[in-house]
Structures are given as structure tokens and as C-alpha cells.
């Protein structure tokens, strides 16, 4: 394989002929020489190639425009300019694909809104190149963390017949003719005629199926796309996002919280270790202080408090909130931020939420009012992880499902899992884009995934 620009930039000047392939970011002409900066996505910095104009035709020089793809061979020499140690003295320049003047990415800085419309080109910008590399490091770190700790990677289905979070935020999957929907005698949609012979949806979480594998393999994790038809037009919500969901058998909430904390620290540290150039870019142009805030998260033990304690802290400050709190209400982003930024000054794990604001599968506490849930809250962001210990007692789970109006028959296998060798188990879900957004300091979640899907937007 040819050398990537990152490797070329690390070379010493020498007599070897080196080939660089990439896209021209900028060109500067002077009387005798032209400079082009070539980028191939391997790092933020480009390679400067210097062309002696007497060796190249004016036609070639004029076709070397921002955005064109080139293959340049030459020797590595010490650079005379101050911006780089070495540069490529070009001996042969081949333009592979020309790029006309209507190329949307010009030298000036573009807004993220503009770039979102040009999503097929945005990875060629400094910002999106850096995001893409950081996302890659984090994905790799997710796998290394779990693999190093003996977890088995499991692929749970994307098309599902159950609703894990019970929030009714699912996208339906159907091949029925929507202009002519088959009906049963009593006027309902006849799903027996649909592709799967029953109602099917895109999954909101791989957890329920993940639990079945944890109760065989002990520790598993999933890492895949999930889908939510929430009508949330915010900087934190996507309709299609990636989630990491570990599940551990013979494990209670304590082990779950411990795993979540170690996991977050591990993936944040991986980025600081491997992407220092990209992180310096974010620190300078996106969010000053982002590096320091990650270092702070990595070195601080997370604070723990119950929901009831959290509400006590928040109630004292109700005058500061748009939505004042009281026991029983959902904790919203403004409250989550207050807890982490003002009260704890570090990440906080809130546990034991009221059962009425959490999903059906969470383990009931003795008080009958709260469940063994946990949310990991991060400064600047709010909820980054949601998890719980699962209800592993058959009768308690059945009662809870009936209480919530869920059809036990539809979850027969999930219930039966509690009949055959049930055991305490726990897990959590990390929204991958929330994590990438946190690490990069990028404001909008739509800018940390290649092709964002959200309400009224499904471009590309
Ligand atoms: O809190 P949630 O809904 O929990 C679950 O889905 C559980 N089944 C996880 C588990 O215990 N295995 O979602 C988990 C995380 C959230 O904390 C958040 O980071 C992210 O997924 N998330 C979203 N990210 C982007 N866009 C959305 N619409 C999201 N909804 C949740
Ligand atoms: Mg949640």
C-alpha cells in the first residue's frame, strides 16, 4: 500500500521517491514555484508539495485547483516555510480528477449548517475529517474495552417485534400497500398479510435480546444502529443513532455503575492518547477547554446520588430552572447540567428513579416506588448513559407488565428467560453520538454522524 500523508509527514528528508495521493486543499502560486497542500484524511495537516514551474506546463498548474485529486511523486526535503518540517519536491504530478470552480468547499470557513447540506463533501473539511477520525478511534476503543474485559460481541436484530423502551417511538417496517391496506373483519389492519405476518418495527434498543445472550455468555455487548421516531428537534436527538449496550449476568447495579465509569474513561482516554492533533483543533476552534474537561472526567471519581437526593438538591434551586422539579418528575437537561456543573462539578450517576418514569424491565426496589435505574450525567451534556439492574424475578416482572398494560404474550420469551436459570443481571446503553459530541465539543449531534436522520430530514 502507498504511504498515507500522516506517515509521509513523519519521514526524514531523503533520496527515496515518495508518492502522495490525495485532494488538493489549497494552491499558492509565485513566479517560479507553486505550492499545493494535499490532504488524504489520515491526519489534519496536509502535505505541502512544491512544484518548480519550469518543470510543469502552465496548463497543468492551472488545473491544480482546490478539490482536485492528485498523485504526486518526488523527494522529501526539509521545508523552508515555517508551517511544516518537511515537504515534497514534486517530480511528477498527475491530476486524477479535475475540480471545477463551482466546488462548494472554498478556502473560507463554512458554517456547519452549510456543510450539513453538502454532507457528501464535508469529510473533506478539517472539522469533519477530525470528527471522523475521533469517531473511528472511539469505535475501536469500544471494542477494545469490552474485548480486553472478556465481553462477547453480539449482534441483536434491527427489525424487532417488541418495544424495549415501551415509549411508542418506533418506526414501523411494512411491505403492505399503504394505498390499499388489508383489513380484518373488525376493521383493523390485517398484519397477517404483512411481510412478517405480524406488526414489526425497527429496534429502539438491542437490550432485550442482549439479555438472553448475557444469560448464556455472562458478559456481552452490542454495538449497532438503533432507531427512534421521537419528535425531538434538538441538538441531542437523532432518529437513527448508534448505541453500545453491555449486559452482565451475576451482576447488580453496583457492578453496572462501575463498568460504565471505567468504560467512559477508557474511550475518552483513547481519544486523548491517539488524536491529540484533532483534539487540539477542537480545543482551539470548537470548544475552548474541551481537552481539560475530558482530562477532568478521566481523573475524577464519578459522584453517586439517588434520584431522591438529586431532587432535594434541585428543589433548593427551583428558581433557576425553566421547569421546577418535585419528586416524581423527569429530570431534564437543565437539571442534569446543574447537578453535574454546579453541585458535583464532575459526572454524576443518579440511581433509583421513580418506577413511573422508567421502563418496565427495571428491577423494583423494596419500597415498591423506585427502580434500580441509573443515568450517567456528564457536565455540558446531561444524560450520556442510561442503564439499570433488570427485574429477574418472574412474578414481579409479570405484575409490572400487567400494571403498564403490556401484553405478556408478546414478551413470552423475555418472561420465560426468568423461568429458566434466571439470575441478577444489569446493563446500560451509551448513545455513541452523544459520546462523540461530548468528546469533540461539537454543538449539534447532527454533525458527529456522517448522514444524520432527524424529524423531516432524510437527505442522501
Ligand atoms: O436511556 P435509553 O433510552 O436506554 C436504553 O435504550 C436502554 N435499553 C439501554 C440499556 O440499558 N441497555 O438510551 C440509552 C442512551 C441514552 O443515554 C442516550 O445517550 C442515547 O442512548 N440516546 C440517544 N442518542 C441520540 N439520539 C436519540 N434520540 C437518543 N435516545 C437515546
Ligand atoms: Mg434514558
Centre of ligand 2 to C-alpha 456, Å, is: 23
Q: What is the largest CA-CA distance in the chain?
A: 85
Cell 449486559, residue located: 247
Q: Which of 354, 364, 320, 359 is nearest to 339 (CA)?
A: 320
Centre of ligand 2 to C-alpha 332, Å, is: 11
CA distances from 270 to 143, 258, 275, 442 (A): 12, 18, 8, 18
Ligand 1, residues at Cβ distance < 6 Å: 164-165, 205, 207, 228, 230, 237-238, 241, 243, 245, 383-388, 427-431, 433-434
pLDDT value at position 357? 96
> By the 8 A CB rule, do 169 and 202 touch?
no
Residue 411, phi then psi, degrees to nearest 5: -115, 30
> By the 8 A CB rule, do 36 and 87 touch?
no
CA distances from 306 to 326, 352, 357 (A): 14, 6, 14
Question: From the DSSP assignment, how many helices (H) and strands (E) are in the chain?
Answer: 13, 16
Q: Give the CA radius of gyration of the chain.
A: 27
pLDDT value at position 209? 97
Around Cβ 244, how many Cβ atoms within 10 Å? Answer: 24
Ligand 1, atom 21, residue with closest C-alpha: 431
Centre of ligand 2 to C-alpha 8, Å, is: 45
Q: Which atom of ligand 1 is nearest to the CA of 384?
A: 19
CA quadruple 39, 42, 48, 53: dihedral sign: negative
Q: What is the DSSP letter of 156?
A: -
* Predicted structure pTM score: 0.96
Q: pLDDT per position in the chain (460 positions), as tens?
A: 789 999 999 999 999 999 999 999 999 999 999 999 999 999 999 999 999 999 999 999 999 999 999 999 999 999 987 788 999 999 999 999 999 999 999 878 899 999 999 999 999 999 999 999 999 999 999 999 999 999 999 999 999 988 878 777 999 999 999 999 999 999 999 999 999 999 999 999 999 999 999 999 999 999 999 999 998 889 999 999 999 999 999 999 999 999 999 999 999 999 999 999 999 999 999 999 999 999 999 999 999 999 999 999 999 999 999 999 999 999 999 999 999 999 999 999 999 999 999 999 999 999 999 999 999 999 999 999 999 999 999 999 999 999 999 999 989 999 999 999 999 999 999 999 999 999 999 999 999 999 999 999 999 9
Centre of ligand 2 to C-alpha 385, Å, is: 7
pLDDT value at position 84? 87
Ligand 1, atom 5, residue with closest C-alpha: 429
pLDDT value at position 447? 98
* Ligand number, closest to the Cα atom of 438: 1
Task: Determine the residue of 431, 436, 445, 455 to mutate for testing ligand 1's pocket, defined as the one with the most ligand atoms within 8 A of the Cβ atom.
Answer: 431
Cell of 41: 484524511
Centre of ligand 1 to C-alpha 430, Å, is: 6
Cell 434538538, residue located: 234
Cell of 406: 403490556
Cell of 30: 509565485
H helix intervals, 76-169: 112-117, 126-148
Centre of ligand 1 to C-alpha 317, Å, is: 27
pLDDT value at position 168? 72
pLDDT value at position 397? 97
> By the 8 A CB rule, do 426 and 392 touch?
no
Residue 23, phi then psi, degrees to nearest 5: -115, 140
- What's the full length of the chain, in residues? 460
pLDDT value at position 229? 95
CA distances from 298 to 149, 268, 295, 382, 439 (A): 19, 7, 5, 17, 12
Cell 423502551, residue located: 165
Amino acid at each position: 500500500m502507498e504511504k498515507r500523508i500522516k506517515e509521509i509527514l513523519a519521514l526524514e528528508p531523503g533520496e527515496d521517491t515518495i508518492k502522495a495521493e490525495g485532494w488538493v486543499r489549497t494552491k499558492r502560486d509565485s513566479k517560479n514555484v507553486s505550492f499545493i497542500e494535499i490532504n488524504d484524511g489520515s491526519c489534519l495537516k496536509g502535505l505541502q508539495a512544491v512544484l518548480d514551474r519550469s518543470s510543469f506546463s502552465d496548463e497543468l498548474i492551472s488545473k491544480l485547483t482546490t478539490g482536485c485529486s492528485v498523485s504526486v511523486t518526488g523527494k522529501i526535503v526539509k521545508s523552508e516555510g515555517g508551517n511544516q518540517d518537511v515537504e515534497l519536491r514534486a517530480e511528477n504530478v498527475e491530476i486524477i480528477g479535475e475540480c471545477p470552480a463551482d466546488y462548494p468547499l472554498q478556502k473560507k470557513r463554512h458554517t456547519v449548517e452549510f456543510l450539513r447540506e453538502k454532507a457528501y463533501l464535508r469529510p473533506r473539511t478539517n472539522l469533519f475529517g477530525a470528527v471522523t477520525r475521533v469517531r473511528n478511534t472511539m469505535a475501536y476503543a469500544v471494542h477494545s474495552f469490552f474485548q480486553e474485559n472478556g465481553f462477547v460481541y453480539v449482534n441483536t436484530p434491527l427489525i424487532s417485534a417488541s418495544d424495549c423502551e415501551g415509549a411508542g417511538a418506533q418506526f414501523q417496517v411494512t411491505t403492505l400497500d399503504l394505498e390499499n391496506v388489508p383489513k380484518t373483519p373488525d376493521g383493523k389492519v390485517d398484519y397477517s398479510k404483512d411481510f412478517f405476518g405480524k406488526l414489526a418495527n425497527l429496534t429502539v434498543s438491542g437490550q432485550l435480546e442482549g439479555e438472553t445472550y448475557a444469560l448464556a455468555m455472562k458478559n456481552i455487548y452490542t454495538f449497532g444502529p438503533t432507531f427512534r421516531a421521537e419528535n425531538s428537534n434538538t441538538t441531542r436527538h437523532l432518529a437513527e443513532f448508534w448505541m453500545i449496550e453491555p449486559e452482565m449476568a451475576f451482576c447488580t447495579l453496583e457492578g453496572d455503575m462501575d463498568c460504565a465509569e471505567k468504560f467512559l474513561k477508557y474511550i475518552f482516554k483513547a481519544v486523548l492518547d491517539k488524536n491529540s492533533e484533532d483534539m487540539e483543533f477542537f480545543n482551539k476552534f470548537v470548544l475552548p477547554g474541551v481537552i481539560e474537561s475530558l482530562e477532568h472526567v478521566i481523573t475524577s471519581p464519578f459522584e453517586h446520588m439517588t434520584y431522591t437526593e438529586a431532587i432535594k438538591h434541585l428543589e433548593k434551586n427551583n428558581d433557576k430552572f425553566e421547569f421546577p422539579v418535585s419528586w416524581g418528575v423527569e429530570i431534564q437537561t437543565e437539571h442534569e447540567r446543574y447537578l453535574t456543573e454546579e453541585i458535583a462539578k464532575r459526572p454524576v450517576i443518579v440511581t433509583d428513579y421513580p418506577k413511573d418514569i422508567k421502563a418496565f424491565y427495571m428491577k423494583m426496589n423494596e419500597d415498591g416506588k423506585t427502580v434500580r435505574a441509573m443515568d450517567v450525567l456528564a457536565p455540558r451534556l446531561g444524560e450520556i448513559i442510561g442503564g439499570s439492574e433488570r427485574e429477574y424475578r418472574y412474578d414481579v416482572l409479570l405484575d409490572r407488565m400487567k400494571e403498564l398494560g403490556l401484553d405478556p404474550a408478546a414478551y413470552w420469551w423475555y418472561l420465560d428467560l426468568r423461568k429458566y436459570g434466571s439470575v441478577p443481571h444489569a446493563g446500560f446503553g451509551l448513545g455513541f453520538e452523544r459520546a462523540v459530541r461530548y468528546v469533540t465539543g461539537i454543538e449539534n449531534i447532527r454533525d458527529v454522524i456522517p448522514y444524520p436522520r432527524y424529524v423531516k430530514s432524510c437527505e442522501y
